[in-house]
Structure 1
């Protein structure tokens, strides 16, 4: 997993630390002392079942920070005039995916059963702040793999 520069792509991916032992594991996500920390708005968790697609969403003002501590999820990002970018996030590829305003994103559950997505956003939820499109929209040049 590599760290992508903040070069106008609207996203970055940073590896995260895990500390496993015989009892389980501690898994870092985001600290107020991290140089890439911006602000705290809310933290929430969502689940996605294997083969299910949740797409597309885009925020106008808030940044989201995603990690997948349980299961495995394909995350696809798209920004106007760029190629879609796909990431696999999960326990084996544990990282923090930061998505800035203006970037469309969606998820597909690829881990067996349910996967858990943690989201630390810079602003609390506001339904008027974002936009949604259906998974099969012609607006975004990406086709989700059939389940």
Structure 2
């Protein structure tokens, strides 16, 4: 796994009314500090990739739908520099994923339903000086093949 990336298995507490699931607690030790929580919905087949941050860490969670999440380590001093990780996240696999600063990240919505992502960052978004740097979804540096392989 890419150095600095953490995955937290989530626990659903279910009863006859539905379920409760704690996503992120201040005592989980995942974020140095908490900056912002956001939510976004994407339609089936949409690819949102890639971007990275120089100063903030992200935590991603997909409460509905399913997604293929791809990470690429851009950090030259990392022991996992230029390594790629793929995670399948969503309703079928409820996990939190910590994405450290300097790791490019993106996702593709899987299946026939939209996917919703809830994400938390260590800094709030600043429109006048955004800490967000884009890389094309098909950039040859990353070289990721987004097609689904059938057996």
- Please tell me the TM-score bracket, short chain as reference: 0.7 to 0.9
Q: What does residue 19 of structure 1 align with?
A: 13
How many Å apart are 1:73 and its aligned residue? 0.8
Q: What does residue 96 of structure 1 align with?
A: 96
Q: What does residue 66 of structure 2 align with?
A: 72
TM-score, normalised to structure 2's length? 0.84
Matches within 5 A, 1:1-147: 9-80=3-74, 81-126=81-126, 128-145=130-147
How many Å apart are 1:25 and its aligned residue? 1.6
Distance 2:11 2:34 in 1: 21
Q: Cα RMSD between the aligned structures?
A: 1.7
**SS of residue matched to 1:50:** coil
Figure out how many residues of one structure are paired with residues of the other and give that number: 140
Q: Give unpaired runs (5+ residues) of structure 2.
A: 75-80
Q: Give unpaired runs (5+ residues) of structure 1.
A: none
- Moved segments of 4+, more than 6 Å: none
**SS of residue matched to 2:87:** strand
How many Å apart are 1:70 and its aligned residue? 0.9
Moved more, 111-120 or 51-60: 111-120
Distance 1:120 1:64 in 2: 6
